[in-house]
Structure 1
C-alpha cells in the first residue's frame, strides 16, 4: 500500500523567543537575584510595546524512520549530515529562514522566525522525507 501525502502531523511548539520594549527602567540585577516566579500585572502600569516574536522552536515526528544518508545525498547542498558531529541531518530553507534537524527515528526539530515558517518548513520537507523512509521490518 502506498503512503498517502495527506497525513496530519502534530507540530509541537516547545519554545518561543520574543522581544519588546517596556517603556520603563527595569533593574535586571534585582529581577535576576530576587525574582522567583515573576508575573506581569498590567494593572500596575508596566507597559510594553513593539512586541515581536523572533524565534520559534518546534518538534514533530514523522510516522516513519528515515535513511539520513539517502536524504542528504538527494538534497545536497541544502542538506548536510555529519554523523561524527551530530546525529541529525540539517536542512536549511533560506527563503523561510528555517532550519530542520532530521533524525533517523523520524523526529524533527524545527527553528524559524515564526509559527507559519515552522509549519511551512514541515510541509516543504515532508515529501523529501517520504522518499527516504526506512522500510518497515516484518
Structure 2
C-alpha cells in the first residue's frame, strides 16, 4: 500500500519555510502498481511538499477614503487616478494592498492566512495614522494559491479519460489537466511532470485537495521526464 507524507509549508522570499507535517495519504489497495523497471520503488515513500505561494484577502474600513490624500501623504503608495485606486506596499509581512475610495481593500502576496490578517491590520493602522476613521471589519480570505510536486510523472491523458466529469484536458490549449473538486472546493492544474497548482478559498482546502488527488494520480504514475544537457544547448 503506497503512502506519502504531505508537508505544508510557505515560500518566503529569502526566508526558510516553516513546515508542518499532516497525516499520511494512503493509496487504496486496488491501485494498479506499475512495472518496477518503469518507476523507482523509492518514490512510494517520498513526501509531498505543498507550498503556499499567495494568499488574497479582503476587508473593509467602513469609511470613505480620500485616495488623493493617501497618495500624497502615504508611505510606499502609488495613486492610480485613471483606475480610481491606490496601491500600498508593506515589507513585513510582504503584501500589496489595493485601496478603493469606498473603503474596500484587497491584500495579496502573503504566504499564510496569519500573515494576511497581520498585513491587513497594518494597512488599516497606516490609514488610521493618516487621520481616517478606520474600523477593521469583514476580513476574509478569498483565494489561496498553492503548488506541489509529486515524486513521479503522471499520464494526464489516461487520468483525464478516467475522470471525465471532474477533469478537462485540451492539450492544444493548455499542457495541464484542469481538475475541479466540489468538496473541499478547489481547482487543480495537473502537469505530466507531476507538478500540480491548486487554487482554493483557504489553506485547509489546499491541503485536503492534495490528499484527495494523490491516490487518483498515483494510478497513472510514470517516470519523471528527464531534462538532458543538450536540451539547454538547443535553447541558447
TM band (smaller chain): 0.7 to 0.9
1:72/1:28 CA distance change after superposition, 3 Å: farther
Q: Higher relative contact order by CA 8 Å / sep ≥ 6: 1 or 2? A: 1
User: Could you say what secondary structure the match of 2:212 adopts?
Assistant: helix
Of stretches 23-32 and 73-82 in structure 1, the one that deviates more from structure 2 is: 23-32
Structure 1 residue aligned with 2:151? 63
Shift of residue 82 of structure 1? Answer: 0.5
1:101/1:28 CA distance change after superposition, 3 Å: farther
Task: Return the match for 1:125 from 213, 217, 220.
Answer: 213
User: Could you say what secondary structure the match of 1:6 adopts?
Assistant: strand
What's the TM-score, normalizing by structure 1? 0.84
Task: Return the match for 1:27 from 51, 63, 66.
Answer: 66
Task: Return the match for 1:18 from 17, 41, 57.
Answer: 57
Structure 2 residue aligned with 1:94? 182
1:60/1:94 CA distance change after superposition, 3 Å: same
Structure 2 residue aligned with 1:37? 89
Q: Which structure's CA Rg is the greater one? A: 2
Matched residue count: 135
User: Could you say what secondary structure the match of 1:83 adopts?
Assistant: coil
Distance 2:88 2:142 in 1: 25
What's the TM-score, normalizing by structure 2? 0.51
The answer for unaligned runs of 5 or more in structure 1 is none
Of stretches 37-46 and 112-121 in structure 1, the one that deviates more from structure 2 is: 37-46
Please provide the CA RMSD for this pair. 2.4
Distance 1:136 1:52 in 2: 38
2:166 counterpart of 1:78:
yes
